[in-house]
């Protein structure tokens, strides 16, 4: 005798700044078999889950043009949906550099939704600042700055294609403890015990993606043992998460400034996991924040 198990409803919430490619992404997801709905009022999202019918996966586009959109409402919704045993929800955040968004609005001659009486760049910067708390919740982050429509399709399909095989997507990120823990992290590793490149004047202005900093961190006597232990833990946990049916897991490394040690560890683990065949994305929260601030100046 076998037990009848009702499959969970898969839901992908697609958001990000206007012009980053939300509509194109929803089209890709619809082609991939998702029921795609754009600009649905957020108060109606829970009702969708209760509606009778097939358990088709859903892709829902939300942004500032939604009538009742607010960052607090998105955070509350994600928390509520993640606590439900019958729903597998993922937040796909589409990001894009400010100068690229400005060019896209100029080419289409569209008015930015947050710049009714201001310049487009002011609207873009204001929207990005407002969406910061939502960005911190992202399960999957896709930067569309340098992607054409074909590359965007390939990237979305890589993460969300319904090919009948269950995939576990792994997000590895670095962060600064000064700015708080990332909301979406499932596992956090503190690497502040490693020696800090910040105190080396020649390395202070560099980051952990650069060879000089990475070599300095790797040379710490504790690095190899720590990295090996983390990798072994991942090799134990990730297959179990996949077997359990999880669709994503977020691993985070933190250090004081989120610039050197945590970046190096995140790069190191992402490379290892990718070589082992896992579907990995990498994000450096503080470095990404610095880039956005530079492009908005």
Tell me the DSSP string of 23-51: HHHHHHHHHTT-EEEES--GGGHHHHHHS
Task: Report the distance separating Cα 109 and Cα 236, nearest Å.
Answer: 52
Largest Cα separation within the chain, whole Å, is 68
pLDDT tens readout for residues 92-139: 999 998 888 888 877 766 666 666 666 778 888 888 888 888 888 888
Task: Report how many domains make up the chain.
Answer: 2
pLDDT tens readout for residues 57-89: 889 998 877 667 788 888 888 888 888 877 888
- Out of 160, 192, 209, a domain closes at 160
- Identify whether the C-beta of residue 174 lies closer than 8 Å to the C-beta of residue 253: yes
Backbone φ and ψ of 13, nearest 5°: -95, 120
Binding site residue list for ATP: 16-23
Q: Decide if 137 is inside a domain.
A: yes
pLDDT, greater one: 179 or 45: 179
- Out of 111, 137, 160, a domain closes at 160
Give yes or no for residue 202 having a pLDDT over 90.
yes
Shared domain check, 258 and 132: no
Q: Decide if 109 is inside a domain.
A: yes
Determine the length of the chain: 297
- Identify whether the C-beta of residue 248 lies closer than 8 Å to the C-beta of residue 139: yes
Name, in order, each residue with C-beta under 8 angstroms of 104's C-beta and a sequence gap of 6 or more.
Answer: 19, 96
Predicted pLDDT of residue 234: 96
Task: Identify the domain containing residue 118 by its residue range.
Answer: 9-160
Task: Report the distance separating Cα 232 and Cα 247, nearest Å.
Answer: 21
Binding site residue list for GTP: 63-66
Give yes or no for residue 177 having a pLDDT over 70.
yes
Predicted pLDDT of residue 210: 96
Binding site residue list: 16-23, 63-66
Predicted pLDDT of residue 4: 45
- Out of 136, 160, 184, a domain closes at 160
Q: Tell which residue, 153, 124, 115, has the closest CA to residue 23.
A: 153
């Amino acid at each position: 005798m076998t037990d009848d198990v009702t499959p969970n409803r898969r839901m992908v919430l697609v958001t990000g700044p206007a012009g980053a490619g939300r509509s194109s992404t929803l089209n890709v997801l619809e082609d991939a078999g998702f029921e795609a709905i754009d600009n649905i009022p957020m108060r109606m999202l829970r009702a969708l889950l209760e509606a009778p019918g097939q358990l088709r996966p859903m892709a829902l586009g939300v942004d500032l043009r939604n009538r009742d959109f607010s960052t607090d409402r998105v955070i509350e919704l994600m928390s509520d949906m993640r606590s439900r045993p019958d729903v597998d929800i993922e937040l796909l955040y589409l990001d894009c550099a400010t100068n690229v968004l400005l060019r896209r609005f100029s080419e289409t001659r569209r008015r930015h939704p947050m710049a009714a009486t201001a310049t487009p760049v002011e609207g873009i910067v204001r929207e990005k600042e407002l969406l910061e708390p939502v960005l911190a919740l992202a399960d999957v982050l896709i930067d569309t700055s340098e992607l054409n429509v074909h590359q965007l399709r390939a990237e979305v399909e890589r993460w969300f294609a319904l090919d009948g095989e269950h995939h576990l997507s792994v997000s590895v990120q670095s962060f600064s403890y000064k700015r708080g823990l990332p909301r979406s992290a499932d596992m956090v590793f503190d690497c502040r015990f490693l020696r800090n490149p910040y105190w080396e004047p020649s390395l202070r202005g560099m980051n952990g993606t650069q060879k000089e900093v990475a070599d300095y961190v790797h040379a710490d006597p504790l690095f190899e043992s720590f990295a090996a232990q983390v990798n072994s833990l991942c090799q134990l946990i990730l297959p179990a998460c996949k077997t359990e049916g999880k669709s994503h897991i977020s691993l985070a490394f933190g250090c004081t400034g989120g610039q050197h040690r945590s970046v190096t560890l995140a790069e190191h683990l992402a490379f290892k996991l990718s070589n082992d065949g896992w579907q990995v994305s990498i994000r450096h929260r503080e470095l990404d924040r610095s880039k956005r601030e530079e492009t908005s100046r």
